[in-house]
Amino acid sequence: MPPCHSWPIKQSPELQLVKVFLPLAVLAATAIPAAAQTGDLAAVQRHLSAVNTMTAAFSQTDRNGQVLTGTLTLKKPGKIRFQYQKGVPILIVGDGRALTFIDYSVRQVQRWPIGNSPLGVLLDPNKDISRFAKIVPSSDPRVVTLDGYDAKHPEYGRITLVFARDAGAPAGLMLQGWVQLDAQGNRTTIRLSGQKFNAPVSDGTFRWNDPRRQGRVG
């Protein structure tokens, strides 16, 4: 699959990264005052700059309502690992240069540049989100929602990050998860829990076994 796609997971519904994290009904139609939007956007930028590592449990729900769970590990710059629950033969790993999708059931490996994925917002510590992101109106003052979309590269898709205001979290914001739309309009979502920030994470966490070199599937 060409690397311009944000996620190479069109093969089957069970391999899609999920549906809806925060019901869109909480988004209000009222405009945000410019000062408030600028302040929240700056707070999100500070949060992203302050987070060097993160671990969390995640849940993933596809468009058919199937739920998968697992563990997320992130380390900047460019490293991320989605370790799925036992029995799910897929793995997604970012090694600092590329994101790799591995399906052990069919010995399939696909790689594409991190910059071609909306996840670059989370993985690039030098990314200036003010160039392509805006705060989305919310009826709940405890929630900050950021919509990221690069009009120069619509093929990268769109990502909406959802934060809860939390004085104990980096820059006063706790990342709750994200909603992603690919270039074809497929909605995917990740929900996070048990977030921990800036603890040591070994680079070995982002290694993986290449099934194409193995004598058996698994």
**pLDDT tens for the 218 residues of the chain, in order:** 333 333 333 333 323 332 333 333 233 334 444 545 578 999 999 999 999 999 999 998 777 777 899 999 999 999 999 999 999 999 999 999 899 999 999 999 999 888 777 888 899 888 889 888 999 988 899 999 999 988 888 888 889 999 999 999 999 999 999 988 877 777 778 999 999 999 999 999 999 999 988 654 44
State the Cα–Cα distance between residues 188 and 206, nearest whole angstrom: 23
67-75 vs 98-103, strand pairing mode: unpaired
Placement of tokens 């040591």 in the chain? 200
- Dihedral Cα 106, 112, 118, 124, nearest 10 deg: 120
What per-residue confidence (pLDDT) applies to 24?
34
What per-residue confidence (pLDDT) applies to 153?
83
What per-residue confidence (pLDDT) applies to 199?
97
State the Cα–Cα distance between residues 102 and 93, nearest whole angstrom: 8
Residues sharing a CB contact under 8 Å with residue 55, sequence separation 6 or more, in sequence order: 71, 72, 73, 74, 194, 195, 196, 199, 201
